Amino acid sequence: MEADGWDPVQYEQFKAERSQPFHDLVALLRPVPGGRVLDLGCGTGELTRLLHEHLGAAVTVGVDSSPAMLEQAGAFAGGGLSFEPGDIEVLGPAPPVDVVFANAALQWVPEHEAVLERWASLLGPGGQLAVQVPANLDHPSHRVIRELATEAPFATAGDGPPPDDRVRSVLAPERYAERLHELGFAEQHVRLQVYGHVLPSTDAVVEWTKGTSLTRMRRHFPADVYEAFVAAYRDRLVAELGDRRPYFYAFRRILLWAAR
Ligand SMILES: C[S@@+](CC[C@H](N)C(=O)[O-])C[C@H]1O[C@@H](n2cnc3c(N)ncnc32)[C@H](O)[C@@H]1O
């Protein structure tokens, strides 16, 4: 685990499950032969490579704030694809691009209406925006983390109040559709999709969230408290969902695409 909380090995454990929404999002895009593409929150870079090739782009830049992720991404650079550190919430002025793409990254920043406006401003004429964001705030996998964090002994065991779940910033699908209209996009496609992930057992959900939602708790608690938190989380999750083998993890995601 790196200091920034991202653990590419843990994150890649459910690679096949995590990559299906990426492929569904890419399928919404029109190719941009010779064009310029931005992949915001690019992660380990492997999917950015596929995006770059699928779109036929001349230049694709993957942006991420995690040194651990960027270190992995370096292996996929070349042929017009590069990676750079940056904060996708506050991207500076840059030459206009043909595609702004963000798979499973928007949820890590607050104020989605403002962020979408900033991302849309990066597009040139005819530009396309494509975003996929998890929308499973109410699933026990997320709710139990929030509940436990406010209960003894965990409520007071970290440095300050427990960090909020970033997925809380995610808007309703129809609000994204309205926002895209307000931002002047001529065409759009917004949908809520449920991905059914067949995990070996209920407690495999813990391995899943260790790569995402639990990273904030790992940063918040000392190591021994974090271990105790994960154990309590596993127990409560299994008690609530039952010890199922396999466990069908129904995961809601919003996919949005729009063109200028
Ligand atoms: C769930 S991963 C998704 C990675 C990749 N897009 C994929 O589909 O596999 C989210 C990524 O967003 C990055 N991220 C989170 N907040 C960020 C920010 N404010 N600026 C830049 N990158 C950020 C994380 O470092 C992480 O690599």
Token output for 177: 């559709």
Domain with CATH 1.10.150 in the chain: 137-164+201-244
Q: How far is CA 216 from CA 24, 37, 38, 41, 221, in A?
A: 28, 30, 26, 17, 9
3-class state of residue 234 by DSSP: helix
Residue from 108, 118, 165, 170 to probe ligand 1 pocket by mutation (most atoms less than 8 Å from CB): 108
Dihedral sign, Cα of residue 42, residue 47, residue 49, residue 51: negative
CA of 6 to the centre of ligand 1 (A): 9
pLDDT of 166 reads 82
Tell me what pLDDT residue 1 has. 33
Residue intervals in the chain for CATH 3.40.50.150:
1-135+170-197+252-260
Closest atom of ligand 1 relative to the 102 alpha carbon: 6
Q: Is the dihedral of CA 232, 235, 237, 239 positive or negative?
A: negative
**Per-residue pLDDT for the chain (260 aa), expressed as one digit of tens each?**
333 556 666 666 677 778 999 999 999 999 999 999 999 999 999 999 999 999 999 999 999 999 999 999 999 999 999 999 999 999 877 899 999 999 999 999 999 999 999 999 999 999 999 999 999 999 999 999 999 999 999 999 998 999 988 888 999 999 999 999 999 999 999 999 999 999 999 999 999 999 889 999 999 999 999 999 999 999 999 999 999 999 999 999 999 999 99
**Which residue CA neighbors atom 15 of ligand 1 most closely?**
108
pLDDT computed for residue 190 by the predictor: 98
Chain centre distance of CA 103: 6
Distance CA 183, CA 178 (A): 9
* Residue 94 Cα to ligand 1 middle (Å): 20
Half-sphere exposure of 103 (CA within 13 A, CB side): 23
Strand 247-259 and strand 187-199: the pairing is antiparallel
Domain covering 1-135+170-197+252-260 in this structure, CATH number: 3.40.50.150
Q: Whose CA is nearest to atom 9 of ligand 1?
A: 43
Q: What is the pLDDT, as a whole number, of residue 222?
A: 96
User: What was the pLDDT predicted at 3?
Assistant: 38
What's residue 15's pLDDT? 76
Q: Which residues line ligand 1 (CB under 6 A)?
A: 6, 18, 22, 41-43, 47, 64-66, 69, 87-89, 103-105, 108-109
Q: What is the CATH number of domain 137-164+201-244?
A: 1.10.150
Based on its alpha-carbon atoms, the radius of gyration of the chain, rounded to whole angstroms, reads 19
d(CA 144, CA 202): 14
Of all protein residues, whose CA lies closest to atom 1 belonging to ligand 1?
A: 104
Pocket of ligand 1, candidates 19, 69, 119: which has the most ligand atoms within 8 Å of its Cβ, to mutate?
A: 69
- Residue 159, pLDDT score: 86
Q: What is the pLDDT of residue 7?
A: 67
Residues near 252 by beta carbon (within 8 Å), at least 6 away in sequence = 134, 135, 136, 139, 192, 193, 194, 195
**Residues 107, 247, 10, 225, CA torsion sign:** positive
Q: What is the pTM of this model?
A: 0.90
